[in-house]
Amino acid sequence: MDLVLIGIGTGNPDHLTAQAAAALNGADLILIPNKGLGKSDLAEVRHLILSRVLTRPVAVREFEMPQRDASGGYAKGVSDWHDAIAGVWRAAIAAHPGPKARVALMVWGDPMLYDSTLRIAERMGDAKVSVVPGITSVQALCAAHAIALNEVAEPVLITTGRQLRDHGWPAGAPDTMVVMLDGEASFQGLPQMGIAIWWAAYVGMAEQILIAGPLDEVGPAIVAARAQARTEQGWIMDIYLLRRAAPHKAPCI
């Protein structure tokens, strides 16, 4: 069995590449995760994409995403969760009555960046795994704000909200940091002066929200907008870029 992981961008059907559209049309079966109430929009976006790009009948099957149990520790909880998801994939594929030589999964953003689909695919035994790259939320964030990811000849750190909460701005890290998977607006734990932020929720989607400015000025507005959007939509997916001023210059915004 060929298992194709297809990056679909950040929710905008226009983000789909021609390569991704061809891969979807070449599949025998497309699996779509159903993450339950409050996150049905994520499945609906996948169905919308398929309605726009499929030029031939392709079987589509939804599967229920298992819940992660963190009671035994983060690492073990994630590993057990990945095992459970792989088991659900196997069951969904086995239950499909038609051809299933080529199975496709639509991955938010790109499978290589802070996504576990590739790690779950490793648990699928003898499946041959291939990847179609997609537009990442990092690319979409910078495009939405019309900013460069890096300063001239400077490196960038891409990290998670958990890391930012636990360690702050790491010693020796670059002056530009992109934070993903942050459920708690962890930038609130940083020194507020001398840092600029470019924040986006639902980046690339119709619901997109953008806020940018000095962190000490716009931080509270981001927290409020984030809370309101989560209440209204039932879920939120956001990302932000932080840039601190070097001693010889002020943060650009």
The pLDDT assigned to 32 comes to: 96
The pLDDT assigned to 248 comes to: 41
Q: Is the pLDDT of residue 182 over 80?
A: yes
Fold classification of 2-135 (topology level): Cobalt-precorrin-4 Transmethylase; domain 1 (3.40.1010)
At 103, is the pLDDT very low, low, confident or very high (cuts 50, 70, 90)?
very high
In the chain, what percentage of residues exceed pLDDT 90?
81
Q: Is the pLDDT of residue 123 over 50?
A: yes
Helices 40-53 & 18-25 angle (0-180, nearest 10):
90
At 23, is the pLDDT very low, low, confident or very high (cuts 50, 70, 90)?
very high
Domain ranges of the chain: 2-135, 138-244
At 252, is the pLDDT very low, low, confident or very high (cuts 50, 70, 90)?
low
Angle CA 98–123–134, to nearest 5: 75
At 43, is the pLDDT very low, low, confident or very high (cuts 50, 70, 90)?
confident
pLDDT digits (tens, 9 = 90+) for 44-74: 889 999 999 999 999 999 999 998 877 778 8
- Average pLDDT for 89-114: 95
The pLDDT assigned to 76 comes to: 86
Q: Distance (Å, rounded) from C-alpha 212 to C-alpha 175?
A: 17
CATH number (2.30.40.10, 3.40.1260.10, 3.10.20.30, 3.30.950.10) of 138-244 reads 3.30.950.10
- Average pLDDT for 227-252: 81
Higher pLDDT among residues 81 and 35, named by residue: 81
Q: Distance (Å, rounded) from C-alpha 174 to C-alpha 26?
A: 42
The pLDDT assigned to 40 comes to: 65
Q: Distance (Å, rounded) from C-alpha 4 to C-alpha 128?
A: 8
The whole-chain average pLDDT of the chain stands at: 92
| Contact assessment for residue 31 and residue 156, using Cβ atoms and an 8 Å cutoff | no
Q: Is 171 exposed, middle or buried (0-12, 13-18, 19+ CB in 10 A)?
A: exposed
